[in-house]
Amino acid sequence: MSDIQEIIEIAKRRGFFWQSSGIYGGVSGLYTYGPLGSILKRNIVSAWADSYISIGALLVDSPVIAQEDVFRASGHLERFTDLIYECSNCKFRQKFETLLEGTGKGVPSSAEEAMKIVSSSGLKCGNCGSDKIAVTDFNLMFPVGTVRAGESRLFLRPETAQGIFVDFQLLIRQNRDRLPLIVIQTGEGFRNEVAPRNAIIRLREFSMGEVEVFMDPESHPFTPDSSKEPVNLMDRDGKDMALPVSDALSRGIVADPAMAFFIQKTHRLLTGLGIDPGKLRFRQHRRDELAHYSSDCWDAEALMDDTWIEIVGISDRGTYDLTRHQSHSGKSMEVKIGDKTFIPKVLEPAHGIDRILMATLVHSRRVTDKGYVVMSLKKEIAPYKLAIFPLFKKDGLSEIAVDIFSRYSKIDPYCIYDESGSIGKRYARQDEAGTPYCVTVDYQTKDDHTVTIRERDSGKQKRILIDDLVSGPVLGNKYVISAFD
Ligand code: AMP
């Protein structure tokens, strides 16, 4: 089974995520996060938000629905499309570029051009082989009706960014009319993907963590530090290299210091969340794959199942969005800083939270010599930090364990009590859930008020006084730390 498939199985069994509305057959690309996944996702979002709020970012929360005017100005109405073909014989639908694979032909820019390729090359439906196929430009946005009949349409947002751009003037005021201004937003984005797949990797509704960095391109504080840590980079021509980001900047591989700064920051965030630095790279977009708003883009890609999958896109949006909103709304998007009046440039690190979560799961999964799965999630993002078990339910051990649980959960709610099944099964369950510590109450506890604490990654077990265990959360607890030194 592939790594992603293994995770999909564990995720359903343990309660990280599963396809929604399974009783009705489900809709591809719509997933529910279960009890473990919801906490894991929240921990990832918090780590992301904290890392930006700590450098002065402002957090906003705009509606998921916006009016047509917003997406006309942003270009999404006209250009957020995929060329697809539909077969009138078998009703199959697929991206047109999939049909072109192996033909050596590039993706055409319009449906008309695509239809010419279909007839000149005799292309046939990839499902039934019929030639009754028609290519159309398929807009990925979900329309959600109108407020009143005849009024302009409303859409679910395909990205959270526009909710920031439309309120730029209100936000810069909140920043006391200074640049740089960093605004972050997390929430759902909606895209009617033609081929949702791999569970939470390609969804129709997904979670984003977007960062819009507004700056004066000639005067800003963003430049990478001199850390010697190598980062895997692949440039526009497909050349691979591993070098410190500051070297990549001085050698002109990454042209812009701000882009280099955010590559370094993103690398730290992702590896800090547990993504394997050896399976992480930053790949520069070729010119022909840049989005309509972008002049340069470096994607953070994680290796999963021998495929590099984009998890964050760091895009230079220039003045595209603010200029478009200025001309469409008639409202100024300029700032006056000193004696200079201008539209700020925007750099956007856009994080796909679901894909980051998937990569942390794929990269943290290991199988022990005995064939058990351990999810070695970073302790800081693990859903539960501690599990408490009685060795047996009898002889008063449950009562002691419940008492420890009620004392401990007052200082750290991310603690779980389990008395069902054998002790071995309970350890295995918590290993799959990624819980870093398990505590067991046994007969010795009755004599000396100690419990066994077991560390997930080393499998080591130590005895610790109950009073020491409940003196603080396990992650910062000096008695726990010193026990495993
Ligand atoms: P984009 O605006 O297309 O660069 O998307 C920003 C990030 O969102 C990407 O780097 C992906 O990690 C993530 N993403 C994009 N589309 C999807 C999707 N359909 N399902 C899940 N994540 C997505």
Which ligand 1 atom minimizes the distance to the CA of 158? 2
Six-digit token string for 353: 């939270």
Q: Please report the atom of ligand 1 found closest to the CA of residue 193.
A: 19
Asked whether 191 lines ligand 1 (CB < 6 A), one says yes
What is the atom index within ligand 1 of the atom nearest the CA of 202? 20
What share of residues in the chain are helix, strand, coil (percent, to 5)? 35, 30, 35
Q: Return d(Cα 469, Cα 467) in angstroms, integer.
A: 5
The closest residue, in CA terms, to atom 10 on ligand 1 is: 312
Name the residue among 81, 67, 202 with its Cα closest to residue 141: 81
Candidate of 80, 211, 355, 357 to mutate for ligand 1, largest count of ligand atoms within 8 Å of Cβ: 355
Q: Is the CB of 354 under 6 A from ligand 1?
A: yes
Binding site membership of 29 for ligand 1 (Cβ less than 6 Å) = no
Provide the token pair at 88.
């009138």
DSSP string, 98-165: HHHTTTTPPPPSSHHHHHHHHHHHT---TTT--S-EEEEEEE-PPB---SSTTSPPEEE-S-SHHHHH
How far, in Å, from the CA of 23 to the mean position of ligand 1?
28
Backbone angles phi, psi at 338, to 5 degrees: 60, -130
What 3-state DSSP class applies to 35? helix
Which of 362, 376, 352, 366 has its CA nearest to residue 303? 362
**Unique residue bearing structure tokens 């979560």:** 357
> Distance between CA atoms of 403 and 422, rounded to whole angstroms?
20
419 Cβ inside 6 Å of ligand 1 = no
Out of 282, 310, 358, mutate this one to test ligand 1's pocket (max ligand atoms within 8 Å of CB): namely 310
Asked if 384 and 39 touch (Cβ cutoff 8 Å), the reply is: yes
* Distance in Å, CA 181 to ligand 1 centroid: 23
- Cβ of 188 closer than 6 Å to ligand 1, yes or no, is no
- The type of residue at 355 is R
CA distances from 38 to 17, 35, 47, 142, 317 (A): 8, 6, 14, 25, 32
Cα distance between residue 454 and residue 470, in whole Å: 15
H or E segment and range at residue 423: helix 423-433
The angle that helices 423-433 and 3-14 make with each other, rounded to 10 degrees, is 120
> Contact, 435 vs 382, CB < 8 A?
yes
d(CA 33, CA 196): 17
Tokens of 77: 């109405």
Strands 81-87 and 58-60: unpaired
Pocket probe for ligand 1: among 208, 270, 273, 309, the residue whose CB has the most ligand atoms within 8 Å is 208
C-alpha–C-alpha distance, residues 282 and 310, integer Å = 9
Q: Is 194 helix (H, G, I), strand (E, B) or coil?
A: coil
Is 350 a pocket residue for ligand 1 (Cβ < 6 Å)?
yes
Tokens (6 digits) for 29: 């690309």
Whose CA is closest to 313, among 351, 346, 347?
351
Give the chain's radius of gyration (CA, Å): 26
Residue 131 to residue 88: CA distance in whole angstroms: 9
Q: Is the CB of 34 under 6 A from ligand 1?
A: no
- Could you give the angle at the alpha carbon of 61 between the alpha carbons of 59 and 65, nearest 5°? 150
Nearest atom within ligand 1 for CA of residue 203:
20
Rounded Cα distance, 65 and 69, in Å? 12
Rounded to whole angstroms, the Cα distance separating 159 from 326 reads 19
Contacts of residue 417, defined as CB under 8 A and 6 or more positions apart, other chains included, come to 387, 388, 389, 401, 402, 405
State the distance from the centre of ligand 1 to the C-alpha of 365, rounded, in angstroms. 23
pLDDT of residue 152: 86
Q: Could you read off the pLDDT tens digit of each residue along the chain, which spans 485 residues?
A: 899 999 999 999 999 999 999 999 999 999 999 999 999 999 999 999 999 999 999 999 999 999 999 999 999 999 899 899 999 999 898 999 899 988 888 889 889 999 999 999 899 999 999 999 999 999 999 999 998 888 889 999 999 999 999 999 999 999 999 999 999 999 999 999 988 889 999 999 999 999 999 999 999 999 999 999 999 999 999 999 999 999 999 999 999 999 999 999 999 999 999 999 999 999 999 988 888 888 899 999 999 999 999 999 999 999 999 999 999 999 999 999 999 999 999 999 999 999 999 999 999 999 999 999 999 999 999 999 999 999 999 999 999 999 999 999 999 999 999 999 999 999 999 999 999 999 999 999 999 999 999 999 999 999 999 999 999 999 999 999 999 98
Distance 160 CA to ligand 1 centre (A): 11
Per the document, the length of the chain is 485
Burial 161-188 (b: 16+ CB within 10 A, else e): bbbbbbbbeebbeebeeebbbbbbbbbe
On whether the pTM is more than 0.75, the answer is: yes
- Tell me how far the alpha carbon of residue 424 lies from the centroid of ligand 1, in angstroms: 39
